[in-house]
Homo-oligomer: A and B are copies of this chain.
Amino acid sequence: MNEFDLIGLLTPNLATNKSVVVGAGDDCAVLDVGVPGQWLLFKTDALVAGIHFTEVAPPEKIGHKALARCLSDIAAMAGTPLSALVTLALPRDFQAEYVQAMYRGINALAARFEVGIAGGETTTNPDRVLISIAALGTVEQGKCPLRSGAEAGDAIFVTGELGGSLHGKHLEFLPRLAEARWLVDHFTVHAMIDLSDGLAGDLRHILNASHVGAELFSKSIPVSRAAKLAARRESSAKPPVRAALTDGEDFELLFTVPSREAVNLVDEWKKQFPDLKLTCIGKISSQPGLAIRDETGVKPLTVDGYVHFQKS
């Protein structure tokens, strides 16, 4: 049983009430708490030492990453982050300087995006550091793209470059908040997700939620310099396109728009965000399944994204 099987067991029976607009299964929960014209976005995300960061990762960057992951999920809903709480579970022999450095990373990113750190909790996790962030954001009612909105014929876009994030980007990335809001304000974004599990895995989340399929264009997938360098340097490294499909932790936006908007989107994007690549990497199809087109033809894509735990 892996994490998605487990989630599938747990989510059908969750207690609910009328405030829950969108529950488990999207990048954030969506709540109607009575703000006129607005919905609340609600998200938690945890990082665990030895799993999401190593002992040698600078603590400022761990703090940065912990908050940035939550903000990236709020970006995937085209929201504006508002406030966050920090839960820190620490071994008994923790170093105060280490914890203060984590908080410096959190506070610097929070200040950059005007997020209020409204408190949190410290507790004991004897064997390793765990940091979990709970974040709130807002979005105009009806204007947050879900995973479930992709339609056959849509063009599939991705921001930035993919793969090799563990060589550094995963500790330093900036959430695509302004880009996501601009997209929703100017184009018909049918579905959106942030790339955390890897392009193949996260696109499958969109396809499953939308009951559609997709064809990716192998040649178009934007591969990061880090993934290309790794492939050149280490004979055991993944081929670059495979790294882009499966490495995970890219924290870029993956989204679909009607194909008639695709050309205009590319033009407008270049003017608006000249320093961030935007690439059309494929199209949504009506028949289920994920396929990839390369010089040899179209074949089913069998690789997966990152799965957190895999249990037989």
Contacts and interface: CB of A to CB of B under 8 A. Distances in A.
Copies of this chain: 2
The 6 A-B residue pairs whose C-beta atoms are closest, nearest first, are A29-B118, A24-B119, A15-B110, A134-B134, A127-B127, A20-B116
Nearest to A3: B122
A218 interface: no
B15 A119 contact: no
B87 A46 contact: yes
Contact of A118 (B7, B9, B24, B110): B24
Given A24-B120, A103-B13, A121-B45, A96 B33 contact: no
A82 interface: yes
A91 to B, nearest CB: 9
Nearest to A30: B118
A148 interface: no
B48 A124 contact: yes
Interface stretch (A36-44, A160-168, A250-258): A36-44
A138 interface: yes
A85 B29 contact: yes
Contact of A117 (B14, B35, B40, B116): B14
Nearest to A50: B126
Contacts of A103: 10, 13-14
A170 to B, nearest CB: 15
B125 A87 contact: no
A14 B108 CA distance: 9
19 contacts: A9-B96, A10-B100, A13-B103, A13-B107, A14-B118, A15-B107, A15-B111, A19-B83, A20-B83, A23-B116, A23-B117, A24-B118, A31-B82, A31-B136, A33-B33, A42-B119, A44-B132, A51-B123, A130-B130
B309 A92 contact: yes
Interface in A9-27: 9-11, 13-17, 19-20, 22-26
Contact of A48 (B17, B83, B123): B123
A233 interface: no
A124 B42 contact: no
B33 A136 contact: yes
A100 B136 contact: no
A93 B311 contact: yes
A121 B23 contact: no
Given A24-B120, A96-B1, A138 B13 contact: no
B46 A132 contact: yes
A287 to B, nearest CB: 29
Interface in A33-75: 33-36, 38, 40, 42-46, 48, 50-51
